[in-house]
Structure 1
């Protein structure tokens, strides 16, 4: 079988060759820099060498950041100088810097501020992704803080000083969000060892600190690389799977983040191009930029400028970022729920008994396509729960976003397994007559969330939405069964292309509606800020419903209720439209 062929043909040695070249010849691949452009050109040349002739570099303007070191010191109860980095898109302090009392606020989420007054103070927070740096900064500003100090993750003795960005705006800002969503505070990163000492000092009594940032923020020309394996003939002309990963990086080698991901993309392109005559759907490979210092400016630009093509023909987005980190022993996949059964079947087959687990895809990495409603997923090695507990949730390794991210942080035997799993994912998505989607899991997530909100949602009429969602769940059972029956017919050699096109067309329409509902507060034509707290929940536009019951009658409650009624209507319309799509498919195929 060809699926066995592509699994056997991918080779981690080729990935290693590319990674070694990238990290030695093109370190610090910052968006808007000479090396950022060189990396885009390298990706283009490598893709063409792999046989993907239709590959080109696109230049675009983006607001990016060039942070440098930061000056940081404890003023009392002792005089201590601490090594620090300015975080990307931090505001620039005045030449004299800023001074303030230091307050430890845990992970920096809203709940961590309960009982703490940080107005006019500088906060000390963990660097975990709960929430992300960008959201920590946004929340700190809302709480009245004047600056942020973020301590690295890792073991308590970790001396690595982190890089990172704090720009909440997803992609380039607009006239509407420039003044409301760009970073407004000076922010710095320090090592975990230094941060824990400061945390202990805060527990003992008042701590006063001084900091000064050094950063240049501004518009620069940046480059993305896009290669396409288009098909001469197909039962579904123009349809494709989008594969993406960022090619910009922080100072140093940045071997795992994301030289390894880019090299995997090149190797997958090489193998799949050799089998293009066997594919039903093509492949588009996007090497994004301004991920690190522009908060997804490259991938969001691609989404905006290729809207019609993506809307009509993209069936899935597969993201590759930081595969095969050394020390990871299990497998983690994040996906929109309609993809879960598909990728878990492959993981069970190919991971050799390793533990694998799933979580709902959140808006992180270059997930710029939720507004379009393209279902996405990404999978890679993961640390054990105990390792995460011991390293302050260092999901991407203690070296992540630091000068210590070197070639020795990659496991090449594990990389071969990653490539094989990736090849199997893409083969099925590119060749299955009926796309391997299932919508009952989506319905279950919607039902569960509406049930959680049932009591608090009574004032906005959520009960009738829940009733309609139950109808939708029953309809997804019928649709999934219908799709499975046609998969069996194709497997037996008795398929019908008209039926496959009808089902796949219905799947695309459903995802356009449901992915956006599941994953975006702003909806189809906006981009939520990075790490936005409502994104932690299913149907983020309903996040504030529990707040209603805590508010007395008055202006604040009435304004919130007005907003939430409109969001309730959005959910109701989406479910009704999804029911109509399933009904149309049933009338066509039953």
Structure 2
């Protein structure tokens, strides 16, 4: 169990004991490095920008290869909004003239032909916003109005949105080193709808290397600085490919979804040609077995990951939502495998698959698991708003893992994906085939365990533990003194009723898993009923824990924590008057949402127990 959970670790996990381990060992032995290298040869030299001929060529190769292996394959087409950075210049004019190296980003705005000229203000001099995650306007950034904001970070959707709310003329980001990294700054997940189109930013955005950024910061310390920014970005609808392969299950309509992204920045050999090669090898190994898997497999090669904010996986989730919700059991995303110099495995997973995932990392590969405090993309081992996480609303349990370098180092780059990540230097020489093979062993192991085990390895008692731990964190932060001057009134935020509901769910799940332990291994009918329950629990609990938006929608790309719709409670000690009353109204509805979800999960569990009497 996650250390944040209030439940103790499950020392002897029946679900792990029921895992089919003989199949995974056989499958790992069938990995063919030469076949994976053949795929890398095919992708080398292709600059797979979404909507480009090279992306279509790679997608057609994927479908042809899947069909060659005997996998049912379809090259879907859809229309999506993509944004391709074209050019950028940054010229300091005051106090002295200097041309800075620069790039622009996806969904940054194009400037007029003569550029945008304005004074520069440093974000480091402004008070940090304590309530950015709740979407509240931060008045401390009033000084930005009409100016160019200078921020020492990689281009960020949250910072751009905050700057735009404050009336900035544009944003200048400083790279953490001398490399310029391509990025995307829209918070809108996938192609916008009429509800989200206005959230697409309209500010020009540039990134400069560290040395130029530091020069700019030094001038700001000395006095006024003025800069002219020129950007060109092509943002338009495009017809995009989405190759998908399927292997039906022999005993169930349920399936394990494995995804990667077919598009790339530049040549993108480790981001993400290596993942395509690993996914194709997964498909080959399963397709060439004598017996099909008990549960099926689907392989998605998403477009518009890089320039469309995960538009491909979002489109697929929207188009297949009902089937995903009924039959999808988990989603594994492959990104950045085969990195030269990678020395340990980064991982994220939803709580119900944590024990299984960590056990697979130990069993399948010689690469050690990265310590949580050193984890890629932050210290949490729970999924965040990245990596084509388009399937939370459909209820799929999420898994992500892969070998990484140390983030924040010269070799590892800002996120542990190599210093070449998101640059033109992501070329074939950055691929380590041996590392890629090790990671493919892990992915095959996870697929074999999910698809072949008599009982799915999802333990939703751990999910209940995550909900309880998140509530502890929120209540602790909300328990401060009121911001009313001279008042020491407590926040009055309480989730006692929800905790009572969670206790009932935990008790029901304990009884249900006792039945599973006693009978599911020998009785296929009990195993099938258990699977039905596990899918229903994922449908109910995963959106409750991870989503503020309705489950048919997609959460935006923004700072994210579990139970996002209750996080406003952490601001209660500072709120007064109407602001406080409005917050309490939102939180009352959030408590109702969570309680309703928990009760639905309890009812489903009780129905399972009644059916087994």
**TM-score normalised according to structure 2 size:** 0.87
Q: Distance in 2 between matches of 1:276 and 1:243?
A: 21
Residues 510 and 104 of structure 1: is their aligned pair in 2 closer, same or farther, counting only changes over 3 Å? Answer: same
Residue number in structure 1 paired with 2:157: 134
Q: Across the two proteins, how many residue pairs are aligned to each other?
A: 564
Unpaired runs of at least 5, structure 1: none
Q: Distance in 2 between matches of 1:36 and 1:279?
A: 31
Residue number in structure 1 paired with 2:440: 419
Residue number in structure 1 paired with 2:19: none
Residues 285 and 414 of structure 1: is their aligned pair in 2 closer, same or farther, counting only changes over 3 Å? Answer: same
Q: CA deviation at 1:127?
A: 4.0
Residue number in structure 2 paired with 1:350: 364
Residue number in structure 2 paired with 1:64: 82
Residues 3 and 294 of structure 1: is their aligned pair in 2 closer, same or farther, counting only changes over 3 Å? Answer: same
Contact 1:440 1:477 in 2 (8 A): yes
Say if 2:343 is the partner of 1:329: yes
Q: CA deviation at 1:204?
A: 4.3
Residue number in structure 2 paired with 1:120: 146
Say if 2:393 is the partner of 1:371: yes
Tell me which of 224, 242, 257 is aligned to 1:242.
257
Structure 1 SS opposite 2:595: helix
Q: Distance in 2 between matches of 1:384 and 1:426?
A: 27
Tell me which of 417, 439, 442 is aligned to 1:396.
417
Q: Distance in 2 between matches of 1:426 and 1:454?
A: 38
Contact 1:520 1:539 in 2 (8 A): yes
1:511-553 Cα offsets, whole Å, 9 max, x none, are: 11111112111031211111x22x2x11111121112231111
Contact 2:405 2:412 in 1 (8 A): no
Q: CA deviation at 1:74?
A: 1.5
Structure 2 SS opposite 1:333: strand
Contact 1:434 1:486 in 2 (8 A): no
Q: Distance in 1 between matches of 2:500 and 2:172?
A: 47
Structure 2 SS opposite 1:145: coil
Residue number in structure 2 paired with 1:543: 567
Contact 1:447 1:470 in 2 (8 A): no
Q: CA deviation at 1:567?
A: 1.4
Q: Where in structure 2 are the equivalents of 1:76-475 lying within 5 Å? A: 76-105=94-123, 110-111=129-130, 117-128=143-154, 133-153=156-176, 156=177, 158=178, 160-179=179-198, 181-231=199-249, 233-234=250-251, 236=252, 238-251=253-266, 253-275=267-289, 277-352=291-366, 354-357=368-371, 359-384=381-406, 387-388=408-409, 393-454=414-475, 456=478, 459=492, 461-475=494-508
Q: CA deviation at 1:389?
A: 9.2
Q: Distance in 2 between matches of 1:472 and 1:203?
A: 57
Contact 2:413 2:419 in 1 (8 A): no
Q: Distance in 2 between matches of 1:392 and 1:30?
A: 22
Residues 168 and 187 of structure 1: is their aligned pair in 2 closer, same or farther, counting only changes over 3 Å? Answer: same
Unpaired runs of at least 5, structure 2: 1-21, 133-137, 373-380, 480-490
1:400-448 Cα offsets, whole Å, 9 max, x none, are: 1111111122222111110111111100111011001112221111111
Contact 2:458 2:534 in 1 (8 A): yes
Q: CA deviation at 1:375?
A: 0.7
Residues 51 and 194 of structure 1: is their aligned pair in 2 closer, same or farther, counting only changes over 3 Å? Answer: farther
Contact 2:393 2:553 in 1 (8 A): yes
Tell me which of 477, 500, 511 is aligned to 1:478.
511
Q: Distance in 1 between matches of 2:65 and 2:124?
A: 44
RMSD over aligned CA atoms reads: 2.3
**TM-score normalised according to structure 1 size:** 0.90
Contact 1:29 1:36 in 2 (8 A): yes
Structure 2 SS opposite 1:94: coil
Contact 1:162 1:190 in 2 (8 A): no
Contact 2:548 2:565 in 1 (8 A): yes
Contact 1:368 1:527 in 2 (8 A): yes
Q: Distance in 2 between matches of 1:477 and 1:505?
A: 17
